[in-house]
């Protein structure tokens, strides 16, 4: 079972966020949800509570990787249990005409995913970053109640439906197929057993030296076993300036373990971050 022995799930709150919506897809009877203020906090809580899991976004089809989540997977020594793809739709709340708006409350991810609409319609507004998309709506309603200046907020479509009197625009995301990948993760066990019959595997790859052709060599191993990559991304190595590590996602095949065996005798090291299925 995906969440065997799990009694608690941490995810970004408050209730009604996209992270919460993704969490509901894996929630089972007897498991409680605890909301956190940031993605990093949710991942940190999992390391303290060994009977728990977290649901966090790792990549958006428009804005790309959620860097703090990707890095925290390694820093907190977590294992990926499953992936959830969620279609993301934003609406705009406002208490005045859009050309009069002075402040727009938005989560950084929401702002990036709807930057075209904001540039074209809220050019005069100052962006005030919030902790979540629902928090954006809460802060908007608080500002309206206090009689504040003309304000707006980028919120989930569900939040806008509940506050439709303030809704000025719907589906404001730049691309209508705007989709976010969420990961279900928990702390890695000392005797972790990975199942390569699952759909995908994620790796962290570090090179042991710095010379030309290393990336070509890495790709050649996957090509040798005819393994299909679905993501390759470099990230700063943190401990060495201008050195990089690579995150690789690929579709498993009957040759996955043989491919990893070749890595064991190569001049780069790797860590399996999880082997998992897509959750509908």
pLDDT of residue 268: 82
pLDDT of residue 241: 85
The residue ranking higher by pLDDT, 57 or 238, is 57
The answer to whether the CB of 90 falls within 8 A of the CB of 214 is: no
Q: 278 in a domain, yes or no?
A: no
Q: Taking 90 as the threshold, does the pLDDT of residue 207 lie above it? A: no
Q: 240 in a domain, yes or no?
A: yes
Average pLDDT over residues 124-149: 94
Residues 113 and 76 in one domain: no
Cα 75–Cα 81–Cα 83 angle in degrees, nearest 5: 100
Residues 182 and 69 in one domain: yes
Q: Taking 90 as the threshold, does the pLDDT of residue 74 lie above it? A: no
Query: Which CATH number characterizes residue 109's domain?
Result: 3.40.190.10
Q: Taking 90 as the threshold, does the pLDDT of residue 147 lie above it? A: no
Residues 48 and 181 in one domain: yes
Residues 79 and 101 in one domain: no
Residues 32 and 77 in one domain: yes
Give percent of the chain above pLDDT 90: 79
Q: 17 in a domain, yes or no?
A: yes
Residue 145: CB atoms within 10 Å:
8
Tokens in use for 10? 């941490």
> Counting Cβ atoms within 10 Å, is residue 136 exposed (0-12), middle (13-18) or buried (19+)?
buried
Q: Taking 70 as the threshold, does the pLDDT of residue 58 lie above it? A: yes
The residue ranking higher by pLDDT, 9 or 264, is 9
pLDDT of residue 265: 85
Residues 16 and 79 in one domain: yes
Q: How many domains does the chain have?
A: 3
The residue ranking higher by pLDDT, 94 or 236, is 94
Q: 75 falls in which pLDDT band (50, 70, 90)?
A: confident
Kindly report, residue by residue over 16-57, the tens digit of the pLDDT: 999 999 999 999 888 999 999 999 999 999 999 988 999 999
Residues 38 and 145 in one domain: no
Q: Which of 45-49, 127-131, 212-216 has the highest mean pLDDT?
A: 127-131
Domain that holds residue 126: 90-170
Q: 192 in a domain, yes or no?
A: no
Residues 70 and 94 in one domain: no
Residues 6 and 73 in one domain: yes
pTM (two decimals): 0.93
Q: What average pLDDT does the structure give for the chain? A: 93
CA nearest to 133, candidates 156, 151, 116, 104: 156
Residues 265 and 157 in one domain: no
Query: Which CATH number characterizes residue 252's domain?
Result: 3.30.70.260
Q: Taking 70 as the threshold, does the pLDDT of residue 1 lie above it? A: no
Residues 109 and 35 in one domain: no
How many residues comprise the chain?
280
Q: 279 in a domain, yes or no?
A: no
Over the chain, what HEC string results? CCCCCCCEEEEECCCCCHHHHHHHCCCCCCCEEEEECCHHHHHHHHHHCCCEEEEEEEEECCCEECHHHHHHHHHCCEEEEEEEEEECCEEEEECCCHHHCCEEEECHHHHHHCHHHHHHHCCCCEEEECCCHHHHHHHHHHHHHCCCCCEEEEEEHHHHHHCHHHEEEECCCCCCCCEEEEEEEEECCCCCCCCCCCCEEEEEEEECCCCCCHHHHHHHHHHHCCCCEEEEEEEECCCCCCCEEEEEEEECCCCHHHHHHHHHCCCEEEEEEEEEEEEC
Kindly report, residue by residue over 150-194, the tens digit of the pLDDT: 999 999 999 999 999 999 999 999 999 999 999 999 999 888 999
Residues 149 and 25 in one domain: no
Q: 128 in a domain, yes or no?
A: yes
pLDDT of residue 264: 87
pLDDT of residue 212: 81
């Amino acid at each position: 079972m995906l969440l065997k022995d799990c009694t608690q799930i941490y995810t970004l709150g408050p209730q009604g966020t996209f992270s919460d919506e993704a969490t509901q897809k894996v929630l089972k009877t007897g498991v409680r949800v605890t909301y956190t203020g940031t993605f990093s906090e949710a991942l940190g809580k999992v390391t303290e509570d060994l009977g728990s899991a977290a649901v966090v976004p790792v990549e958006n089809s428009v804005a790309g990787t959620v860097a703090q989540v990707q890095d925290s997977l390694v820093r907190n020594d977590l294992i990926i249990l499953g992936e959830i793809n969620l279609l993301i739709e934003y609406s705009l709340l406002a208490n005045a005409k859009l050309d009069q708006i002075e402040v727009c409350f938005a989560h950084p991810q929401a702002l990036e995913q709807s930057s075209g609409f904001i540039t074209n319609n809220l050019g005069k507004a100052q962006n005030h970053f919030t902790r979540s998309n629902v928090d954006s709506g809460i802060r908007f309603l608080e500002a309206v109640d206090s009689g504040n200046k003309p304000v707006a907020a980028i919120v989930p479509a569900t939040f806008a439906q509940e506050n439709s009197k303030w809704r000025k625009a719907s589906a404001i995301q730049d691309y209508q197929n705007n989709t976010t990948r969420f990961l279900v993760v928990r702390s890695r066990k000392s005797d972790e057993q990975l199942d390569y019959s699952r759909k995908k595997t994620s790796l962290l790859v570090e090179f042991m030296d710095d010379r030309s052709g290393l990336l070509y060599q890495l790709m050649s191993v996957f090509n040798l076993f005819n393994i299909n990559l679905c993501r390759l991304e470099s990230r700063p190595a943190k401990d060495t300036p201008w050195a990089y590590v690579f995150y690789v996602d690929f579709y498993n095949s009957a040759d996955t373990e043989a491919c990893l065996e070749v890595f064991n005798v190569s001049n780069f090291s790797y860590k399996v971050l999880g082997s998992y299925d897509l959750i509908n």
